[in-house]
Structure 1
Amino acid sequence: MLDLKKEIVNPQAIRLSVAPMMDWTDSHCRVFHRALAPHARLYTEMVHANAVIHGDRARLLAMDPVEHPVALQLGGSEPALLAQAARIGAERGFDEINLNCGCPSDRVQAGRFGACLMREPALVAASVAAMIEACDVPVTVKCRLGVDDDHRFEVFLAFVDEVAAAGCTMFVVHARNAWLKGLSPKENREVPPLRYDWAYRLKRERPQLKILVNGGIATAEEATSHLEHADGSMLGRAAYHEPYVLHRIDTAWFGGELRSRAELLRSLRPYVEAELARGVFLKHITRHMLGLFHGERGGRAFRQVLSEGAHKPGADWSLIEQALAVTESFAARDAA
């Protein structure tokens, strides 16, 4: 019998999410995204199970309470180690544990995890079963459609079926293949063609599963269109480079008043000042905010002020106000 405590049963909780992105979706980034999108599900960067078990957990598993709901994404291929890491993640307060079966980098392949796991569904199933047994939060999987030149839907479906039989009820589908040879991780996000229809078909043929669509979603309109065929949309690079799109989607889907970029940013002042007081450098926080005014008059100047000043000793909230003042001066001139 399905343990409902380990399933995400509220469909609203998975409609909008922000993808796990290495070197980007750290705790500072997630706090920023939470301010923009109160209803979004957030994901950590991928952390290897060994690092969770043996590494600096205070740094690797850093999380501010405001981030909830937030999922910990794990990498690895040893069921016992993944189970131990999942238990640690749940004990640290993460709302979901997600297994990475989609990253195509050489380093990940050398460690026999990430996208290459799609060729080993039995191992993924064993890992998922061990993780579910070890923790009391949902265990989910993020995967591709396949690897290299395998373009058979029945192979993809067999992978999902075997992992689902182990107890996984939610799959985040990056709707393109991963090329393990010949393409860089960046090219793997752009070159293999997107096939959203496979994710849609998976939902039609396995309606009992929760299916989230990921890959190439750049606008609020695109994100909304996927809801006609799947349970949710997960944004990646667009959410990072043009973060205001998260606020537009959140207010359109869940209600609430559309707030200005400046108002949203100023709501983070207590957090920023508390982090600075702890010894965090401003540049580690503001690097995630550079795209907030993307496409807006003064957006380049906003980015320039933060980029040039945040690394300097003593940089504080006043630099953010200086950057906002520049954008506001453009708006004032346009209104004159």
Structure 2
Amino acid sequence: MKLLVTGGAGFIGSAVVRRAIALGHEVVNLDSLTYAANLENVAGVSSSNLYSFEQADIRDRARLDEIFATHRPDAVMHLAAESHVDRSIDGPGDFILTNINGTFNLLEAARGYWQRAGKPEGFRFHHISTDEVFGSLGEEGQFTEETPYDPRSPYSASKAASDHLVRAWHETYGLPVVLTNCSNNYGPFHFPEKLVPVVILNALHGRPIPVYGAGLNVRDWLYVEDHADALLTVVQRGQLGRSYNIGGENEARNIDLVRTICALMDEMHPAGAPHDRLITFVTDRPGHDARYAIDPKRIREELGWRPSVTLEQGLRKTVRWYLDNEAWWRPLLARQGVGQRLGTKA
């Protein structure tokens, strides 16, 4: 299968690229290389004859048409997006332009290509989204594929809009689509503005570890390499027009996650122990959703997929990776906004 992966130099996208090539798929990595992208994420496969790279913006329709005509993919895996909630609070415009307008452009480019090719039965447009579109849960319950949308941030609202566009293109034009909504990802190559790498790197440097509010917000944590495996399963075997929730089956409060990472740092980097002394509670994010939790029954029962890594195993792998890969993360600390508190303008 020849895959066009948008956002393939990002965190989740690069995991998909690496996994797809390991499985023998051809991959065209389309990425505009914004601040959170890094071609070092795919350096391990970039010399493969199965890999090619196109620097392009999904907001550029003419460029998309050119890429489809040149590479003639069997499937699109659409991961390119602005994805940091705090940045969406400070500057929602980029999220609207990329996540909504960009998805529209990609859908139209894919539809034109699919129609000109005679509507091949095997073509797929796989839209990758987030569980944040469902809003916030109370202490009980889980998100299912039938949960009503209730986004609470500019980021989640823009992703909800893109989900609706994809479904509309399937219903109106017959474009063969599948959709997935995932829980919080973590793992190697995670850009150092998100919670897990922030905790690891601040602990490593003896800096305060910021925890929003009282740290009681609950998330379901999904190891990124498990997620990549699930996405490739869905694009090949998912039912057309259907959505699949992908979860890690690993719920944890933010404060407990942070303390687990601190304990792993005590073990692997004892020079700064105890690292939990660095935990600092800060003003909560505006509109911070209380709890996310995924019911993964559909993907488990229909496609036979479930996560292979527990939260303890995944965090141990992740901490070890950051300690061993300073050459990767060190240059990223100088990028715009990294290390600063964002999302306070509301």
TM over 0.5: no
Normalised to the residue count of structure 1, the TM-score between the two structures is 0.37
Report which of the two has the higher share of helix: 1
Normalised to the residue count of structure 2, the TM-score between the two structures is 0.36
